[in-house]
Amino acid sequence: MKKNKTKKNILLVFGTRPEAIKMAPLFLALKKNSNFDVRICVTAQHREMLDQVLEIFSINPEFDLNIMSKGQSISQITANVLEQLPKVFDNFMPDLLLVHGDTTTTFSASLSSFNANIKVGHVEAGLRTGNIFQPWPEEANRRLTSVLTQLHFAPSKLSKENLIKEGIDEETIFVTGNTVIDALFIALQKIKDNKDFVRGVNDEYPFLTEHKKIILVTGHRRESFGKGFENICKALLKISDEFEDLNIVYPVHLNPKVREPVNKHLKDKQNIHLIEPLDYLRFIYFMEKSSIILTDSGGVQEEAPSLNKPVIVMRNTTERPEALETGIVKLGGTNPEKIFSLLKQALQDIPVDEIKNPYGNGDSSIKIVKIIEDFLDN
């Protein structure tokens, strides 16, 4: 076990694209602090989409478990992380291990740290739906991680209250905002500074420059597999038929349980553009160009208020009620009629005034670094 005698060792562990987006600005902020020796371990729970984000933020992980395999189960992911992460600890023993959110990587890395008597910091802690099966398996992952965590970085006061209700010591909970807003502002600046990038994206996707409103769609949640995605497709077909002057743009997730129903129902519609998944910068650019977003993504719910974009959440519950309270985010479930009705209303009521984002103004990483510094000093 190698341990720097003068610096505190910090290890960030993540495995999916959303985790990488939200951990990247925190990693960059930690690297600026001379008191820390900071390393990254990726599990590669999602390989291709993860690597795209790492490239954008110029991050090269020191450790790569590379666990992704075709058709892998949640149990396989958990077992692989539990087996391989201790080998990383043999090489670099952290004083603090940081995980993010609610993935299987998050829970598995936290459990592995507990087994090695390593303290855990949980970024984006305290989100709850109250239903352990929605979203599945994320709700269980985040609850289990909270039990194993010593530092809880809650994105909002409500998240802090959720943790207190579960018996978490209030002194270990810190309201920091969400690092996804930090990442968003970094991405927006990169886009603004790169005119060749903008020109290239517009050339690649000519419909972006057509004089039509764009409806951006994302969907990937396991809880919607099967009937849920069938209903989402019905809603998009109805929108397509009713509003021929719209362009519906759907970057289709790589999971076959998403791609099969989407391609089956939507591939032949003239105003529905099914495209391959976008890298992070392209996706932010698409969000900026869109009029309305239909999604089941948590990150999009958090980012949208900063971009002043109406969002219809295609889930029955959300662990981000703060976004709903802004009025710019609406809960549509997977009911085709409700999704259509909310979209029709949103087209009439596109916001003009800027919305204050309840998840912060882009300084969450700085706050977290200061809290970690104080914690490790004491």
**Residues 143, 222, 259, 265: which is the catalytic one?**
222
Our answer to whether residue 253 is catalytic in this structure is yes
Our answer to whether residue 220 is catalytic in this structure is yes
For the beta carbon of residue 245, count every other beta carbon within 10 angstroms. 9
Our answer to whether residue 273 is catalytic in this structure is no
Give the phi and the psi of residue 237 in degrees, each rounded to 5: -65, -40
List the structure tokens of 148.
């194993």
Residue type for position 57: F
Concatenate the DSSP letters of all residues of 209-243 into one string: GSSSEEEEE----GGGTTHHHHHHHHHHHHHHHH-
Our answer to whether residue 102 is catalytic in this structure is yes
Percentage of the chain lying above the pLDDT 90 cut: 78
Identical topology for domains 8-178+360-377 and 195-348: yes
How far apart CA 332 and CA 311 sit, in angstroms, is 10
Q: Which CATH superfamily is domain 195-348 in?
A: Glycogen Phosphorylase B; (3.40.50.2000)
Residue 242: pLDDT band with limits 50, 70, 90: very high
Q: How far is CA 237 from the centre of its chain?
A: 27
Q: Please give the mean pLDDT across all residues of the chain.
A: 93
Q: Nearest Cα to 138, choosing from 106, 110, 162, 179?
A: 106
Angle at 109 between CA 153 and CA 181, to 5 degrees: 35
- The pLDDT tens digits for 187-208 are 999 999 999 999 999 999 999 9
How far apart CA 359 and CA 374 sit, in angstroms, is 23
List the structure tokens of 56.
């954008």
- The pLDDT tens digits for 111-151 are 999 999 999 999 999 999 999 998 899 999 999 999 999 99
Angle at 268 between CA 262 and CA 270, to 5 degrees: 115
Q: Is the pLDDT of residue 231 over 60?
A: yes
How far apart CA 349 and CA 275 sit, in angstroms, is 28
Beta bridge partners of 246: 213
For the beta carbon of residue 213, count every other beta carbon within 10 angstroms. 16
Q: Which residues contact 297 (CB under 8 A, 6 or more apart)?
A: 18, 218, 220
Give the position of tokens 């200061």. 370
**Residues 220, 273, 315, 320: which is the catalytic one?**
220
Residue 156: pLDDT band with limits 50, 70, 90: very high
**pLDDT at 201 (0 to 100):** 97
Domain regions of the chain by residue span? 8-178+360-377, 195-348
Continuous segment of H or E residues that includes residue 139? helix 138-147
Mean pLDDT of 38-65: 91
**pLDDT at 279 (0 to 100):** 92
**Residues 95, 124, 319, 322: which is the catalytic one?**
124
CATH code of the domain made up of 8-178+360-377: 3.40.50.2000
Mean pLDDT of 243-261: 90
pTM (two decimals)? 0.89
Q: Are the C-beta atoms of residues 271 and 250 closer than 8 Å to each other?
A: no
- The pLDDT tens digits for 84-97 are 999 999 999 999 99
Q: Is the pLDDT of residue 1 over 70?
A: no
**Residues 138, 182, 296, 322: which is the catalytic one?**
138
Give the position of tokens 């549509």. 332
Q: Which residues contact 78 (CB under 8 A, 6 or more apart)?
A: 104, 107, 108
Q: Are the C-beta atoms of residues 173 and 152 closer than 8 Å to each other?
A: yes
Q: Is the pLDDT of residue 283 over 80?
A: yes
Q: Nearest Cα to 271, choosing from 215, 232, 218?
A: 215
For the beta carbon of residue 158, count every other beta carbon within 10 angstroms. 18
| DSSP assigned state of 316 | S
**Residues 19, 95, 102, 302: which is the catalytic one?**
102
List the structure tokens of 12.
């960030």
How far apart CA 276 and CA 281 sit, in angstroms, is 14
